[in-house]
A and B are shown apart, each in its own frame.
Chain A
Amino acid sequence: MSVYPYLVAGWLMAVGIIGIVRGRNLVQTVICLSVAQSATYVLLLSVGYQRHATPPVFGEPASKPNFHVVDPVVQALTLTDIVVSATVTALLLSLAIQIHKRHGTLDPNELNTLEG
C-alpha cells in the first residue's frame, strides 16, 4: 500500500481549510467544507484497500472464509459519511441562500451583525 492516497487526503483537508479561511463567498465556504470532507472519503477508502483484492460481495454458495476482499467496514463508513455530508451541505447552502436574500451579499467580510 503506497503512501500516496494518505498524502492526497492530507492535501484535500489542507486546501479545504485554507479555502474556508480565505473564502470571500459563503457558497465557496460550503464547497470548501465539502472538499475537506472528501479527504475523509479518500482516507477511509485507502485504509481498507488491498492490492489484487475483489469487492466485498459474497454470492451463493457462501464463499471460502479467507476470501481476499477489500475491507467492507470502511466502505460502509464512507457511505454514512456521504449521507451526512449531503444533509449538512444542503442545509448550509439553504442558509447561504437566505443570507443572500436578507443581506444582499455573500461576502463574509460584509456581514457584521455579530461581533465583539
Chain B
Amino acid sequence: MSFGQGGSSALAPLAIAVPIAVAAILQAASERLPRKVVDAVATATAAAVTGVAAALLAASAGGRVVTWSAGWLPHHGFSVGIVLVVDPVGAGVALVAAGLVTLALVFSWRYIEAAGGRYHALMLLFLAGLEGFSLTGDLFDMFVFFELMGAAAYALTGMKVEDPSSLQGAFNFGIVNSLGAYLSLMGIGLLYAHTGQLGLPQLGHALAGHRPDALVLGAFVLVMAGFLVKGAMAPLHFWLADAHAVAPAPVCLLFSGVMVPLGTYAAFRVYWTVFSGTLPPDDVGRAFVVLGTLTGVVGAVMCLGQRNFKRLLAFSTVAHVGLFLVALGTVDADGTAGAIVYVVGHAGAKGALFLLAGILLDRYGSVDEVNLHGRVRDLRVERWLLVAGGLALACLPPFGTALGKSLAEDAAGAAGYGWAPVLFVGVSALTGGAVLRFTARVGWGLGTPPIVESGTTTGDEERETQPLSRVPITMVIPVVVLLAGALAVGVVPGVGRAASAAAHLFVDGAGYRHQALSGAPTGAVSTAGSGWTTGGVLIGLLSAALAVGVAAAGIWSRAVRRRLPAVAVGAPALKVLRRLHSGHVGDYVAWMVVGVAALGGLVGLPLR
C-alpha cells in the first residue's frame, strides 16, 4: 500500500487552511491596518492559493492525489479518517476558483470602498469554501464546505445593507440554499444509516453492485437537491437571478464563474463516485438531459426579456448551466470533457461581463438598458470589451466556449440526443444576442429608446463607490485577463486533450474508489483526440451570426413583432414565466419541492 505522504499530498489541505487563517487575521486586525495593506494581503493570499491549485493540477495530471488527514489510512476498505482526493477536474475547478477570487480582489481595490477588511475576510472564507468543496473526498465535508461558502456568499450578497433589493436578494438566496443543504444532509444521513460510511470512495465501495432500493434512490435525490439548488437547475434556479442582480459585481463574477458550475460539478462528482455502481447511468443521464434542457430554455427566454444587465447575465448563467447539465448528462467522458472546456470558457466570458456591469454601475449608477440608452458612448474601450464578451457568450470561435460547445454537441449527438445542437446553438444565440442588444443600445444608442414595461426589475442600484470620472486601470485589467483566458482555452493547443484525460478520470468511479482505498494508482488513461473540427467551427460561427440577428431583432423589435405573429403569440407565455419569478421566497421553495420530486420521478420510475 502506498499513499504519497510527502510532496504534493500536503498541498490540498494548504489550499483550504491558508485562506481561513488569513481571513481570521484580517477580520481581527483590519481596523488597525490601512486599506492598501488589507488589499495587498488578501490578494497575495488568493494568488498563493492559485499557485497551490496550479501545483495540484500539475501533480494530479499523473493520477489522483489522495490525502488522508492526520494519516488515518484505510484498512481493508474501511477507515475512520477523512480524505481529500484531488483529480484533475477537482484541481482544475479549484484553480479557476482561486484565479477568479484573485481577479475579483484586484478589481475591488478601487471598487468596494465602505466595507473595510470584512469584505476581504468574507472573500477569503468564500475561497476556502470553494477550495474545500472541490477537493474533498468526503460527503459530509461537502455539506460543511457547501454551508461555509453559502454563509460567506449570503453575507457578500447582502453587503450593501442600505439597498432594500440587495437585502431581499440575499435573504431569498440564504433560505433556498440552506434548505437545499439540509435536504442534502438528510440524504447523507440516510446513506450513513445504510452503509455506515461518509467518504465518497467508501460509500461507493459499499453501494457498488447492489440493486438500488427505495432508500438509495431517496438518498440520491435528497443529496442531489442541495447541489442542484446551488447549480441552479430549473425549477430550483429562482434564487440565482435575485442574488446576482443585487450582489456586488466582483461577487457576481465568483457566483456565475465558479460557484454555480460547482453545484453541477458536485452533483456529478457524487454520482460517479458514490452511485455509479448502483444507479444505471442511462436513467440518471436522461433525467439530467431533460431537466437541463428545461433549464436552458427557461434561462435563455428569461435572459432575453431583461433590462437590468446583471439580471440578464444571471439568466444567461441559468441557461448555460442547462447546457452543462445536458453535456454532463451524456454520462460519458466525451460529454464531460466538453462541459469542462465550456465551464472554463464561460467563466472567463461571463466574469468579464459582470465586471463590466460593475464598471457601468460605478460610472452611471445604473445597469439599466432603458436609462443608459446611448450614454455609454464615452467608454470607448469598455464598450468593445462588452461586444467581445457577448460574442464569447455566443460561442464565436476561437473562444473556449465555442470549443466546449462543439465537443459537447458531438458527445450529445453520439449519445443519441441528435437534437442537442439546436438547443446549444439556440441558447448561445439568445444569451449572446441579449448581451449584444444591450451593448448596441447603451454603447452606440442604436434603435429608439425602448418602451418601459412594468413588472420587471430595473437596473437602478446603489453604487459600490463614489461616482468615477474615469475608469481605474485596476478595474479594466481583470476584464481583459478574463477575456484573454476565455480566448486561451480555445486557442492553446492541447486544452481539449487535457480536458478529455481529466474527464476520463472523473467518470471512472471504480478507479476513484480503488485508488483512494488501496492507494494503487490507476493505469494510463486513453486520450482520444478532441479539438476543433470544421463542423464545430461552422456551428460556432452560425450561433454568433444568429446572436447578432437576435440583437438586431431586439433593437428594432416593434417591426419584428408586426411581421412575425409567432413572437406576439409567445408574449402571454413569456408573461406567465416572468410572473413565476416573483421574488417571493415561499414560491421559490414550493418550486424547489416540485423540482426535487421531478428528479425523483425521472430517475426512479424507470427502475421499477
C-alpha spacing A43/B187, complex, angstroms: 10
Q: Is A47 in contact with B193, judged by CB distance below 8 angstroms?
A: yes
A116 within 8 A of B: yes
Instruction: Given A33-B175, A43-B189, A91-B154, answer yes or no on A113-B593 (Cβ-Cβ < 8 Å).
Output: no
Q: Is B192 part of the binding interface, using a Cβ–Cβ cutoff of 8 Å?
A: yes
Expressed in whole angstroms, the Cα–Cα distance for A21 and B589 within the complex equals 6
Least Cβ–Cβ distance between A48 and chain B, in angstroms: 9
Residue A70 at the chain B interface, CB threshold 8 Å: no
Contacts of A17 in B (CB 8 A): 179, 589, 593
Query: Are B586 and A99 interface neighbours, CB within 8 A?
Result: no
- Partner of A88 from B140, B150, B457, B581 at Cβ < 8 Å: B150
**What is the CA–CA distance of A24 and B197 in the complex, to the nearest angstrom?**
40
A77→B589 contact, CB < 8 A = no
8 A Cβ contacts from A94-115 to B: 95-96, 98-99, 102-103, 108-109, 111-115
Give the number of residues in B that approach A within 8 Å (Cβ atoms): 53
CA distance in complex: A62, B74 (Å): 22
CB interface residues, A 1-47, toward B, < 8 Å: 9, 13, 16-17, 20-23, 26, 29-30, 33, 36-37, 39-40, 43-44, 47
Mostly helix, strand, loop or mixed at chain A's interface? Answer: helix
Hey, which chain A residues are within 8 Å of B168, CB to CB? 99, 111, 113-114
CA separation between A47 and B195, bound complex, in Å? 11
- Are B192 and A74 in contact (CB-based, < 8 A)? yes
Contact with A along B141-167 (1 / 0, CB 8 A): 000100100110011001001111101
Contact A43/B186 with A108-B584, A116-B455 known, Cβ cut-off 8 Å = yes
A residues near B163, Cβ cutoff 8 Å = 102
Cα A99 to Cα B179 with chains together (Å): 20
On chain B, the residues within 8 Å of A47 by CB distance are 189, 192-193
B561 within 8 A of A: no
Q: B174 contacts which chain A residues (CB < 8 A)?
A: 88, 91-92, 95
Q: Is B456 close to A, CB under 8 A?
A: yes
Q: Given A20-B586, A33-B179, A108-B585, do A81 and B457 touch, yes or no (CB 8 Å)?
A: no
Across chains A and B, the number of contacting residue pairs, with CB separation under 8 Å, is: 139
Chain B CB within 8 A of A87 CB: yes
Residue of A nearest to B454 (CB): A116
* Chain B neighbourhood of A112, CB < 8 A: 583
**Does residue A57 face the partner (Cβ distance < 8 Å to B)?**
no
* Nearest neighbor of B455 in chain A, beta-carbon distance: A116
Q: Is A80 an interface residue (CB 8 A)?
A: yes
Contact in complex: A98, B158 (CB < 8 Å) = yes
Q: A114 touching B186 by the CB < 8 A rule?
A: no
Report if B185 contacts A (CB, 8 A). yes
Task: Tell me, in angstroms, the Cα distance from A16 to B175 when the chains sit together.
Answer: 12
Q: Tell me the smallest distance from the CB of B86 to a CB of chain A, in Å.
A: 23
Q: Nearest-CB distance from A73 to chain B (Å)?
A: 7
Pairwise interchain contact A40-B164, C-beta atoms closer than 8 A: no
**Residue contact A36 to B182, C-beta cutoff 8 Å:** yes
Q: List B455-469 residues whose CB lies under 8 Å from chain A.
A: 455-457
Inter-subunit contact A95/B158 (CB<8 Å): yes
**Please, which residues of chain A bring their CB within 8 A of the CB of B589?**
17, 20-21
Q: Closest approach, in angstroms, between the C-beta of B156 and any C-beta of chain A? A: 11
Contact partners of B593 in chain A: CB under 8 A: 17, 21
Bound complex: CA A87 to CA B185 (Å)? 16
Question: B457 touching A116 by the CB < 8 A rule?
Answer: yes
Provide the bound-state CA to CA distance between A116 and B581, in Å: 5
Contact (Cβ within 8 A) B586 A103: no
Q: Is B278 an interface residue (CB 8 A)?
A: no
- A interface residue numbers (CB < 8 A to B): 9, 13, 16-17, 20-23, 26, 29-30, 33, 36-37, 39-40, 43-44, 47, 73-74, 77, 80-81, 84, 87-88, 91-92, 95-96, 98-99, 102-103, 108-109, 111-116
Residues of B within 8 A of A (CB): 140, 144, 147, 150-151, 154-155, 158, 161-165, 167-172, 174-175, 178-179, 182-183, 185-186, 189-190, 192-193, 198, 241-242, 245-246, 305-306, 455-457, 578-579, 581-587, 589-590, 593
Q: A33-B178, A113-B165 are in contact. List 6 more A-B contacts (CB 8 A).
A: A36-B182, A74-B189, A91-B155, A102-B167, A114-B165, A116-B306
